[in-house]
Amino acid sequence: MALSYKSRRRWSLVILLVGLPLYIVAAVSVVNALGRPPIWLEFLVYVFLGFLWMLPFKFVFKGVGKEDPEAEPPRED
């Protein structure tokens, strides 16, 4: 099922405004569950988790910053 451009824009906004803060809380909880590891390991865990969250949503964010490909070109009068 392919999402339209408008629905991808809406879903990307929902993911960024709702899902990402929830994921940040989960990532901090994971690091706290490790029991305050050394700073370099904590950094690596955050970097890994930072890349991990976007992999399932790659198809949603692809092309969202560009113009709507389905929109009509502007008329020149």
Helix, strand, coil shares of the chain, percent, nearest 5, are: 65, 0, 35
Give residue 21's pLDDT.
92
**Is residue 38 a part of any domain in this protein?**
yes
Average pLDDT over residues 37-57: 88
Q: Does residue 76 fall inside a structural domain? A: no
Q: Would residue 17 count as lying in a domain?
A: yes
pLDDT at 1 over 70: no
Q: What is the pLDDT of residue 72?
A: 73
Q: How many angstroms separate the CA atoms of 66 and 27, rounded?
A: 30
Q: Domain limits at 50?
A: 5-57
SS3 at position 11: helix
Please name the helix (run of DSSP H) or strand (run of DSSP E) that holds residue 10, with its range, or none.
Answer: helix 5-14
- Asked if the structure places residue 62 within a domain, the reply is no
Residue 64 lies in a domain: no
Domain count within the chain: 1
Q: Considering the domain boundaries, does residue 71 fall inside one? A: no
Interval 23-38 mean pLDDT: 87
- pLDDT exceeds 90 at position 17: yes
Among 3-12, 21-30, 42-51, 64-73, the range scoring the smallest mean pLDDT is 64-73
